[in-house]
Amino acid sequence: MTGNTRPLRADARRNRAKVLQTAYEVFAAEGLAVPIDEIARRAGVGAGTVYRHFPTKEALYQAIVVDRVEHLVGQARELAATADPGEAFFGFFDLMTSAGATDKGLVDALAGEGFDIEAVMPEHEQAFKDAMRDLLVRAQAVGAVRADVTVADVKTLMVGCQAMQRYGGDAAPERVLEVVREGLRPAR
């Protein structure tokens, strides 16, 4: 099925890692608009080398986003296992929103066009939704989150909060997020 890939040569493995690492940092700091040549330059390789490892620019940042999402799913599961449901849910909410403040590339990828998560990595999207649903229903069960919001609603709110973090102007980020968190709590 998926063609038998043989093991990479040592230099190839090194370069691939260097490209991934550099791309991760540069995309996070400056967004997805950074040219491939720039990433190659900073990684100390030629543009051709980047393209041998990742057939297109999209493939490169998809690899990065997939990694990032997997990591976030792991954190979501940890939170679900350890803390109380309300803290777990809002802890994850904070993780997601601060990811938006840190990582421009992630926001570009999640919000911008040219990236349909469902199409590209359906299993990761599913895992993400499952982990979120788990956090959400538990939090709703103990009355920490209003009962009528869905997983999709929460996802959308998170994307919106990431946008606020990134394009926020001179608003106080913490106060703005507090407003949204408060809105997620049940009416008192």
Question: By C-beta, is 123 or 170 nearer to a second copy?
Answer: 170
> Which of DNA, a second copy, none does residue 111 bind (CB under 5 to 8 Å by kind)?
a second copy
Question: By C-beta, is 17 or 142 nearer to DNA?
Answer: 17
Q: Which of 11, 148, 174, 182 binds DNA (CB under 7 A)?
A: 11
Q: By CB under 7 A, which span of 33-41, 65-73, 87-95, 140-148 interacts with DNA?
A: 33-41
Q: Which of 28, 31, 42, 47 binds DNA (CB under 7 A)?
A: 47
Contact set for a second copy, span 100-159 (CB under 8 A): 110-112, 146, 148-150, 152-153, 155-157, 159
CB of 29 to a second copy, least distance (A): 14
> Which of DNA, a second copy, none does residue 152 bind (CB under 5 to 8 Å by kind)?
a second copy
CB of 163 to DNA, least distance (A): 22
The rounded distance, in Å, linking the Cα atoms of 105 and 108 is: 5
